[in-house]
Amino acid sequence: MKTNELERVIETLLSDAHSTETLMTDKLKEYAEKASHNGVTKFLEDHQMETKNQINRLERAFEVGELKHNDVGSPIIDAIISENDVFINGCEEGPVRDAALLVAVQRIQHQEIATYGSIIALCKAAGLMEISRLLQESLDEEHEIDQELSIAAEKFINVQAHQEAA
Ligand SMILES: [Fe+2]
C-alpha cells in the first residue's frame, strides 16, 4: 500500500471515530436522562466528560498528522443506536432499564475499541507515532470504561432479580 493510500485509510477511520464520539455525547446525555439510579446517571455523565476529551484528542490527531477530516458519519453506530433504542424503549423505568442503558453504551464502546485499535496499528505502520500515542490514551480509557460497564450492568440485573425473588 502506498503511503498516501494508508493516510487516506487513517483519515476515514479517524473521521468515523470523530463522528462516533460526537454522536456519543448526545446519546450519553439522553441515556443519563432515562436512568433511574443516581449511580447510573452519574456514570453516564462522567463518561460524557471523557468523551469530550476523546473528541479533543481526535481533533489534535488531524492537526498533527495534517490529515483531512471527512464527514463520513458512522453507519455502524447508527445501526447499533437504532437497535439499542428498540430494547431500551421496551423496558419500563427501573433496574432492568438501567442495565439496558449500560449495555447500550457498552455495545458502542466495543465498536470504538475496534476502531481505535485499528487506527493505532495503522498509525504505527505509517510512522505517525504521535497520533498512535495520543489515541492509545483514549483506547486505554475505553477499555477501563468497558470493564466498569460490565460490573455495573451485572449489579443492576442482580438487583432486579433480587427484587423479583422477594
Ligand atoms: Fe469514546
What's the CATH number where 82 sits?
Answer: 1.20.1260.10
Q: Look at residue 166 and tell me whether its pLDDT is greater than 90.
A: no
pLDDT in tens, 64-73: 999 999 988 8
Range of the domain at 50: 3-165
**DSSP classification of residue 36:** -
Q: Round to whole Å and give the CA distance between 27 and 77.
A: 11
pLDDT value at residue 19: 96
Q: Determine the distance separating the centroid of ligand 1 and the alpha carbon of 134, expressed in angstroms.
A: 13
CB–CB of 80/107 below 8 Å?
yes
Q: Determine the distance separating the centroid of ligand 1 and the alpha carbon of 100, expressed in angstroms.
A: 18
Number of structural domains in the chain:
1
Q: Determine the distance separating the centroid of ligand 1 and the alpha carbon of 161, expressed in angstroms.
A: 30
Q: Determine the distance separating the centroid of ligand 1 and the alpha carbon of 108, expressed in angstroms.
A: 8
pLDDT in tens, 6-47: 999 999 999 999 999 999 999 999 999 999 988 899 999 999
What residues have CB less than 8 Å from 18, skipping those under 6 apart?
A: 55, 58, 59, 62, 69
Q: Round to whole Å and give the CA distance between 100 and 113.
A: 20
Q: Determine the distance separating the centroid of ligand 1 and the alpha carbon of 68, expressed in angstroms.
A: 20
Find, among 76, 99, 75, the residue nearest to 163 by Cα: 99
pLDDT in tens, 112-125: 999 999 999 999 99
Q: Look at residue 60 and tell me whether its pLDDT is greater than 70.
A: yes
